Structure 1
Amino acid sequence: MTPDLPPPVTPGEQPPAAPSGLMARFRKYFLTGLVVAGPIAITFYLTWWFVTWVDGLVRPFVPIAYRPETYLPFGLPGSGLIVAVIALTLLGFLTANLIGRTLVDLGEKILGRIPAVRAIYRGLKQVFETLFSGHGSSFRRVGLVEFPSPGMWSIVLISQSPSPEVSRSLPGQEEHISVFLPCAPNPTTGFFFYVPKSKIIEVEMSTEDAATLIMSAGVVQPGSDPQKKVAALAGMANAARAANSARPLQPQPAKVE
């Protein structure tokens, strides 16, 4: 006897509705709770990982007499992070005066004489000065470019204009600008390229909203209500589950003995 198979879904026909009942409501509430608790749990995990990582780097440089666990029966997470923040602030204060500036210049001259280290240090210094300066505009503007083909638009983060050497090598007389195109769902990877300014449509959107839009693959739209965001994510999960359950089963061929 052959098992009763569900009728296949013909093109244009709506798939059967998701089953209703106690189990359906349980799955819906479970997915909604997962959507709410998942980002919170991952955020706490990443924060804890960062704090413990900084503690592991700083603790060897702190004398044992000044460590909290010397006087407490347990360790104090975050103590290394506090020491690092105070040390960096003190370093910035010392660098602001003449003596500190002289020492920093001397250290940079020493690093500049090492061929392999010189390029790495100068590149990283420029990146940090650009990202953490309060006056820079790199990656603070969001735009749209036609990518990967005409009619398809992608979100990019607008950076700086190319250097004179690169500008002279670019074809045409139009001014270009460098942009970074993040990939979904991991915005830390992507594509970097130069594009004419006339080909960029600047969008009134913060970089945080752009990153959220990319990581959610368009599910979480900027400015939407938080409850609607949760409902949209839960609805997407329910739709995927319903589509998988509506997929017709394929009969397995009989084994020939």
Structure 2
Amino acid sequence: MRKYFITGLLILVPLAITAWVLSLVISTMDQSLLFVPERWQPRTLIGFDIPGLGTILTVLIVFLTGLLTNNLVGNYIVRLWEKLLHRIPVVSSLYGSVKQVSDTLFSSSGNAFRKAVLIPYPHQDCRTIAFLTGVPGGDVKNHLEGEYVSVYVPTTPNPTSGFFLMLAKKDVIELDMSVDAALKYIVSMGVVAPE
């Protein structure tokens, strides 16, 4: 009986968590309908709410923004907008930091998390999977002797938090493993081994 109960848990828990996360994301995106005038909301027009309409609206707005800013005029407007934001004291530093991180992570030409590596961490006799993020820059590289690389070490089971380390390149082993496979391995705490 215990075996069947555990088997049932192994099937239902991932489904329940997935459904809960999707429900949370969709309900959060549905909140974007609050910015639509009352007379244009589904509750006013047809008498009831349509679940997921906010998600569709959010995806559509993101897509149209990308479409409009991907030409000469849209690009010019974005540059003007960014110049304006860079003149506002607190907003400038916050927006600049977020923009730099998002450009690094989401840009197709960026190098963030493009390679899974094996590194000695937390001490020389242990190994963990990390992601190559680049090379140290600025004044930092002036204080490092030899060739160094920058890596991000995600925590288990939540890879969104972690540690940023600079290691000697000779201590870093590049893995023949995709970033997705490495993330699954980390999130599963080593239970789901890569093929």
The two structures have a TM-score, normalised by structure 2, of 0.92
Matched, 1:30 2:5: yes
Name which of 112, 117, 134 aligns with 1:143: 117
1:162 Cα deviation from its structure 2 partner: 1.6
Q: Distance in 1 between matches of 2:2 and 2:47?
A: 44
Name which of 40, 49, 55 aligns with 2:15: 40
Bigger RCO (CA 8 Å, 6+ sep): 1
Which amino acid in structure 1 is aligned with residue 149 of structure 2? I
For each residue in 1:2-32, what CA deviation from the matched residue of structure 2 results, as whole angstroms up to 9, or x when unmatched? xxxxxxxxxxxxxxxxxxxxxxxx1111101
Which amino acid in structure 2 is aligned with residue 105 of structure 1? R
Which amino acid in structure 2 is aligned with residue 41 of structure 1? A
Give structure 1 stretches of 5+ with no counterpart. Answer: 1-25, 224-257
Give structure 2 stretches of 5+ with no counterpart. Answer: none
1:113 Cα deviation from its structure 2 partner: 1.3
Q: Distance in 2 between matches of 1:177 and 1:82?
A: 41
Q: Distance in 1 between matches of 2:53 and 2:12?
A: 28
1:97 Cα deviation from its structure 2 partner: 2.5
1:46 Cα deviation from its structure 2 partner: 0.3
Matched, 1:169 2:143: yes
Which amino acid in structure 1 is aligned with residue 20 of structure 2? Y
Aligned to 2:30: 55
Identity %: 41
Name which of 79, 91, 95 aligns with 1:121: 95
Report the count of equivalent residues. Answer: 195
The two structures have a TM-score, normalised by structure 1, of 0.71
Aligned to 1:221: 193
1:80 Cα deviation from its structure 2 partner: 0.8
1:98 Cα deviation from its structure 2 partner: 2.7
1:166 Cα deviation from its structure 2 partner: 1.8
Matched, 1:201 2:176: no
Which amino acid in structure 2 is aligned with residue 191 of structure 1? F
Q: Distance in 2 between matches of 1:85 and 1:54?
A: 9
For each residue in 1:58-79, what CA deviation from the matched residue of structure 2 results, as whole angstroms up to 9, or x when unmatched? 1122233432333444321111
Partner SS for 2:50: coil
| Bigger-Rg structure (1/2) | 1
What is the root-mean-square deviation of aligned Cα atoms in Å? 1.6
Q: Which moved more, 1:208-217 or 1:151-160?
A: 208-217
Partner SS for 2:118: strand
Q: Which moved more, 1:90-99 or 1:41-50?
A: 90-99
Q: Distance in 2 between matches of 1:69 and 1:75?
A: 5
Which amino acid in structure 1 is aligned with residue 19 of structure 2? F
Partner SS for 1:177: strand
Name which of 41, 51, 57 aligns with 1:83: 57
Partner SS for 1:178: strand
More strand as a share of residues: 2
